[in-house]
Chain A
């Protein structure tokens, strides 16, 4: 029976020759992830089992990234609970302040995920690792607890949408513009319960940062996972980061897809998602004059080195508009260090930005850049729901690092093509 890429990975992890869409299976897990928000709930659930140990101490990871460094006493208590649990269970991959980064940037960088893996994470953006050719999906804390105890999770085998990419991206256009365009096309529930499988000759022009960003936002179309066909770029990245031996699964030629969507990358333009849903995507002909109060460049979507390079190139030698607060957050310690050595931090600071230690902070309205009533932010994060970044009467616009940098210069939502005169 012909299978999609996702179905092949799920079949291999449930001891089956084949699986088909709609079947319920119990799959073996290669990695179980939690953060400082979701892990405490999972730890409480795990305690109900009365077990001394987890299924495999090397296959569980906890990353203190959401409200860490601790934003308040309650956040401190939550991190402590995770820290104590990981010490007691001797969890190998516990990442605390000093080592931690934003989880979905950190795990690929540390080589913890490889092609062919099945990964669950108690964080909706766990779908990011699909960029590495893994089946990877967000779950809740109870699933995480079950995964920690048994090394298994239940899944309904998804059907899939194939995204066929052609062409290559133009200057100052990136993966973020591609995924915002796609969500704009299919809507926030356009891929509900399904896989999005990215393939086609256009893949060759997408960097790993582009692919990680695209897979990261698969959840914003409701998808169970977003997954990329493995190629030399994937394999090079996994090798460079010391990942385990990749297992390459390729969709059958005659696999059944619910839908095939073609995207010509060379036609993709700088794109902005308007409040209050990621599907409200617009290109610059239809944006108008929108003043902003804050710009955030960072997050699990766009806090990678390539993102910072892209923003710095536009900011270099220029200044932030008066009354625009610019916050740059390298996603991991390594990215921070690389940015420092490349001189990017100097560019940001001279531009008038602040540079923060890695944290999810402002993306979910936690801390480190909260909005007041009536304020607007242009940000490289992934959600623009009501109250996402602060006051319920504030507004969040989503865009690429290049668009964020251009907008920080003018103080209104601005295309990088305008600032760079393309």
Chain B
């Protein structure tokens, strides 16, 4: 899978309460959730995010609640990939299960700047910063997880007989 987009950069411990505040959890409509994505951290996000954009972040991205509304809101807002130094574990599996591309790469997350254009080839584990020319290597997903991603999500994997 290949992704290209401009980077929106955040810091450590971006929690699910700022990704999608609980006051909006009385709906599971993807568009409605996307309309409030990142609202309590960055009021400009919704206005400036463009289809295909890439989020980079620090440690423990997505910590806190199990709300799948968080990766759903990010995906529905047009973000194609999240690169972080590390992810909170529930967010990590939720993203895989719903088909939001994510990858852990501390060096890339540290060095890539806001506004840079980045290209990521996750099959071959390469992240390239087109703006600076720097390249980073990432570990490929375990085969089991790759299968879920190839099927387009966990439920699709079950439909396709993977379970």
Residues of A within 8 A of B (CB): 24, 26, 37-38, 40-41, 44-46, 48-49, 66-67, 71-72, 74-75, 78, 121-124, 126, 138-143, 145-146, 149-150, 152, 154, 156, 188-189, 192-193, 219, 222, 224, 277, 364-366, 383, 385-388, 392
Interface residues of B in 11-33 (CB under 8 A from A): 13, 15, 17-18, 21-23, 25-28
Residue among B40, B59, B90 with the highest chain A CB neighbour number at 10 A: B90
Which residues of chain B are within 8 angstroms of A192 by Cβ–Cβ distance?
60, 86, 88-89
From known contacts A24-B144, A123-B66, infer whether A48 and B155 are also in contact, taking CB-CB under 8 Å.
yes
Q: Which 9 A-B pairs have the closest CB atoms?
A: A140-B94, A74-B26, A140-B68, A142-B97, A364-B22, A189-B60, A124-B66, A387-B40, A385-B17
The range of chain B's interface size is 35 or more
From known contacts A139-B90, A383-B64, infer whether A45 and B26 are also in contact, taking CB-CB under 8 Å.
no
Q: A387, B18: Cβ atoms under 8 Å? A: yes
Q: A139, B158: Cβ atoms under 8 Å? A: no
In the assembly, what is the distance between CA of A154 and CA of B89, in Å?
A: 13
From known contacts A222-B89, A277-B13, A385-B17, infer whether A49 and B142 are also in contact, taking CB-CB under 8 Å.
no
Residue among B27, B59, B89 with the highest chain A CB neighbour number at 10 A: B89
In the assembly, what is the distance between CA of A121 and CA of B68, in Å?
A: 12
Residues of B within 8 A of A (CB): 13, 15, 17-18, 21-23, 25-28, 40-41, 59-60, 63-69, 71-72, 86, 88-90, 93-94, 97-98, 142, 144-145, 153-156, 158-159, 163
Which residues of chain B are within 8 angstroms of A388 by Cβ–Cβ distance?
17, 22
A271 CB → nearest B CB, Å: 20
From known contacts A26-B163, A140-B66, A143-B154, infer whether A75 and B26 are also in contact, taking CB-CB under 8 Å.
yes
Known: A142-B94, A189-B86. 9 other contacts (CB 8 A): A139-B94, A140-B71, A142-B154, A188-B13, A364-B22, A365-B23, A385-B18, A385-B64, A386-B15
In the assembly, what is the distance between CA of A138 and CA of B154, in Å?
A: 16
Q: B66, A138: Cβ atoms under 8 Å? A: yes
Which residues of chain A are within 8 angstroms of B13 by Cβ–Cβ distance?
188-189, 277
Contact of B163 among A46, A152, A387 (CB under 8 A): A152
Q: A49, B26: Cβ atoms under 8 Å? A: no
Q: B159, A386: Cβ atoms under 8 Å? A: no
Q: A222, B158: Cβ atoms under 8 Å? A: no
Which residues of chain A are within 8 angstroms of B163 by Cβ–Cβ distance?
26, 146, 150, 152
